[in-house]
Amino acid sequence: MIAWLLPPLGLLAGLMLGAVTLTPAEAWSLLADPTQPLGQLLWQWRLPRVLAAGCVGALLALGGAVFQGVFRNPLAEPYLLGSAGGAAVGATVALLVALPLPQWLSLPMLAFCGAWGATWLVLALARLADGTSVATLLLAGVAVAALLGAVRSFLMLALSDETVSLQAVLAWALGGVQTPSWPELAVLAALTAAALALCLALARGLDLLGLGEAVAESFGLPVRRFVALAVLAGAFVVAVSVVWGGLVGFVGLMAPHLARWTSGPLHRGLLPRAAAIGAGLAMLCDGAARALLPPAEIPLGLVTAAIGAPFFLLVLAREARRG
Amino acid sequence: MAEAALDLRGLGYRTGAAALVEDVTFDLHPGEVLGLIGPNGAGKTTLLRLMAGLLRPFTGEVRLHGRPLPDWPARERARRMGYLPQHFAPHWDYTARELLRLGLERGGSAEGLEDVASLHGVAGLLERRWSSLSGGERARVLAASVLATRPGVVLADEATAALDVGQSLALMGRLRMAAREGAAVAVVVHDLNLALAGCDRLALLHQGRLQALETAASLAEDARLDAAFGVDFVRVRTEGGLLLTARGGG
């Protein structure tokens, strides 16, 4: 129930918060009258921005839920696993290198390849050690994320020139939702809906995988093929979120956890709730990012990290106690 | 004898240079409980995983109801074959109902869940989470989930390893019940007396090879048993049958 309340709450907070903070009544009357200058601003800037943040949050949550399911690890998360970092490297190349492809195509494609490659790298490193234990996976993820961060910084320094603003790339790397036009928002919303459908199609397999590979296989799940497919789907979801929202950490960790507390571990119930919680969280954090230091904006990634890092430590402590 | 539910022909498996299972051939029949016994490292678990299709043999093949295992569609095979692992620890804290449902759904639907639960004595546990169940309750819930589709072949890998004597006997009882309903059951058993009491036939493995395949009563008297385990067993005759105990070392 709480899961479904978060998106409207986040939407309301997102509409109220910003350089000019509004009361709910003011926000409502401005939305109702788009002829006023402030009303226009709300319709053209704040509302699409808030909704885009919601989509990015939902995508991060879905990516986190799928990766937690695939890796059978409650600390797996697009940001910590390096898959978001991989997407960011791909996207940086697309932004800074003159490619024979138009950028609207090369950006998501390279982001997807980066996310996919990084996730496989972490999976392979973890398997080389001792499978998918919490510690191994985290260490492999940290190492890959650090490497990818270095590669991205190098690319930014080596390739940026007067034609590309380094600040723009940097702001995006710190995590921040760009304000889309309404047609752009429609594309993002459609991709988010497709991502939800794709993840729901994986739900039963993720449930079975939670029983361990041997039992999952004996219950009819072709484990290797399924993991390959799920990593592909997860990389797609993460790539879309990174293209629109940059590097935003911890939403993909928190949302699936909160969803699991409300709905239990079965993915059919978990995935939509995680998406709703992720959307609500991202809208709230994005509102805070715009309102804390007006007229400047704090990168969204900093706000989510401020909330998410303590949450991460809490989950880590719980896992350590469980052994 | 009835047609074999599972037949193994010249089965072999190796890792690197080491042969873990070599040239194993036997049939598993509906209605019987067959125990796989042998010292540690004899290849029991590897053989069971080969039988379950979790490992691919290097040589030979396994046929389920006359059809090679890899030719079965995954779902069909899953419905007809149940596998009880040695250690089972779900990664998420499922409720007993959720676990039962996942087991039942391999048959295509989750209908009759309550009936399966009462049959296996877990009706009162359905809403409990895995982390809150005791060892014996966990064994019952897992068995219920694996046996939910009434599979024709049931393979259990030292499923009694973490259980106390009462719980072990209860689990063997459930496997016996499945056999009475027509399932062919193969179970890896560490405890020889449990194997003697609970199994119809015993397959003795040593260094990856099948050393003997006899009725439990006759293998109990067989010197190959002592040779495989490297001990002289003392055989004590009781009202309930033969009991084996190892002669004290030193």
Q: What secondary structure does DSSP assign to B62-106, as a single string?
A: EEETTEEGGGS-HHHHHHHEEEE-SS---SS--BHHHHHHHHHGG
Element (H, E) at B152: none
Instruction: Determine, for residues A260 and B92 on separate chains, whether the beta-carbon distance falls below 8 Å.
Output: yes
Chain centroid to Cα A201, Å, comes to 19
Integer CA distances (angstroms), A62 to A56, A58, A79, B58, in order:
10, 6, 13, 40
User: Alpha-carbon distance B207 to A202, whole Å?
Assistant: 42
Task: Give contacts of A207 with chain B, Cβ < 8 Å.
Answer: 98, 102
A212–chain B nearest CA distance, Å = 6
Q: How far apart are CA A270 and CA A182, in angstroms?
A: 30
Mean pLDDT over residues B22-29, rounded? 95
Question: Could you tell me if A39 lies within 8 Å of chain B, comparing CB atoms?
Answer: no
Average pLDDT over residues B158-185: 88
A166: exposed, middle or buried (Cβ count in 10 Å: 0-12, 13-18, 19+): middle
CB A59 within 8 A of CB A87: no
Q: Classify residue B40 as left (phi > 0), alpha (psi -120 to 50) or beta.
A: beta
Q: Which residue of A has its CA nearest to B83?
A: A218
Question: Is the per-residue pLDDT at B205 higher than 90?
Answer: yes
**What share of residues in chain A are helix, strand, coil (percent, to 5)?**
80, 0, 20
A214 close to B (CB below 8 A) = yes
- In the prediction, which pLDDT does A133 show? 62
In angstroms, what separates the C-alpha of A19 from chain B's closest C-alpha? 43
Tell me the β-bridge partners of B185: B33, B154
Mutation target vs A (from B91, B93, B106, B141; most A CBs, 10 A cutoff):
B91
Instruction: Rank A103-107, A147-151, B97-101 by mean pLDDT and report only the highest.
Output: B97-101
pLDDT digits (tens, 9 = 90+) for A246-305: 888 889 999 999 999 888 999 999 999 999 999 999 999 999 998 888 778 888 888 998
Kindly give the interhelix angle for A223-245 and A47-71, rounded to the nearest 10 degrees: 160
Q: How confident is the model at residue A132 (pLDDT cuts 50, 70, 90)?
A: low
Coil, strand, or helix at residue B13?
strand
Taking only the tens place, the pLDDT of each residue in A309-318 is 898 888 888 8
Q: How confident is residue B250, by pLDDT bands cut at 50, 70 and 90?
A: very low
8 A C-beta contact, residue B127 and residue B137: no
Choose the weakest-confidence range: A134-138, A211-215, B5-9.
Answer: A134-138
Residues of A in contact with B146 (CB under 8 A): 218
Instruction: Tell me which chain A residue has its CA closest to the CA of residue B55.
Output: A214
- Amino acid A50: pLDDT: 94
**What average pLDDT is seen over chain A?**
87
Q: Where are the domains of chain A?
A: 60-322
Distance CA A253, CA A270 (A): 13
The two beta strands, B184-188 and B153-157, are: parallel
Cβ separation A211–B93 shorter than 8 A: no
Partners of residue B127 in chain A, C-beta under 8 Å: none
Q: Looking at residue B18, what is its pLDDT?
A: 86
pLDDT confidence of residue A123: 82
Mean pLDDT of B179-194: 93
Q: Which residues of A touch B94 (CB under 8 A)?
A: 210, 264-266
Give the pLDDT of residue A30. 86
With contacts defined as CB-CB under 8 Å, which chain A residues touch B106?
Answer: 219-220
Q: What's the pLDDT at A101?
A: 83
The Cα B129–Cα B188 span in angstroms is: 28
* Nearest-5° Cα angle at B132, B126 to B137: 60
**CA-to-CA separations, A232 to A36, A70, A82, A126, A280, in angstroms, rounded:** 46, 11, 14, 18, 26
Locate the chain A residue with the closest alpha carbon to B95: A264
Domains in chain B (CATH in brackets) are: 6-246 (3.40.50.300)
Least Cα separation, residue B195 to chain A (angstroms): 24
Evaluate if residue A128 carries a pLDDT over 80: no
Task: Judge: B94–A221 Cβ closer than 8 Å, yes or no.
Answer: no
Between B163 and A251, residue with greater pLDDT: A251
- The answer to whether A47 and A15 have CB atoms below 8 angstroms apart is yes
Q: What is the pLDDT of residue B48?
A: 95
Specify whether the CB–CB gap between B175 and B181 falls below 8 A.
no
Q: Does B49 touch chain A (CB under 8 A)?
A: yes
How many other CB atoms are there within 10 angstroms of residue A145's CB atom?
23
Q: Which of A212, A220, A265 sits opposite B78 (nearest CB)?
A: A220
Distance in angstroms between the alpha carbons of the first and the last residue of chain A: 31
CB contact under 8 A, B88 and A210: no
**Among the partner residues B49, B78, B95, nearest to A219 by beta-carbon distance:** B78
Average pLDDT on B53-71 reads 94
B-chain CB neighbours of A265 within 8 Å are 92-94, 98
Task: Give the percent of chain B with pLDDT over 70.
Answer: 98
From A207, A208, A215, residue closest to B83, measured CB to CB = A215
Q: Count interface pairs A-B at CB distance under 8 A.
A: 62
**Which B-chain residues 158-197 have CB contacts (< 8 A) with chain A?**
none
For domain A60-322, say whether CATH 1.10.3470.10 is its number: yes
* Range B31-52 average pLDDT: 94
- Kindly report the backbone phi and psi dihedral angles of residue B206, in degrees, each rounded to the nearest multiple of 5, phi listed first: -150, 130
User: Above 80 in pLDDT, residue B227?
Assistant: yes
A212 touches chain B (CB under 8 A): yes
Q: Give the pLDDT confidence of A154-173 residue by residue, as tens digits.
A: 888 887 776 666 776 777 77
Q: What is the ipTM of this complex?
A: 0.90
Chain B partners of A72 at a C-beta cutoff of 8 Å?
Answer: 91-92
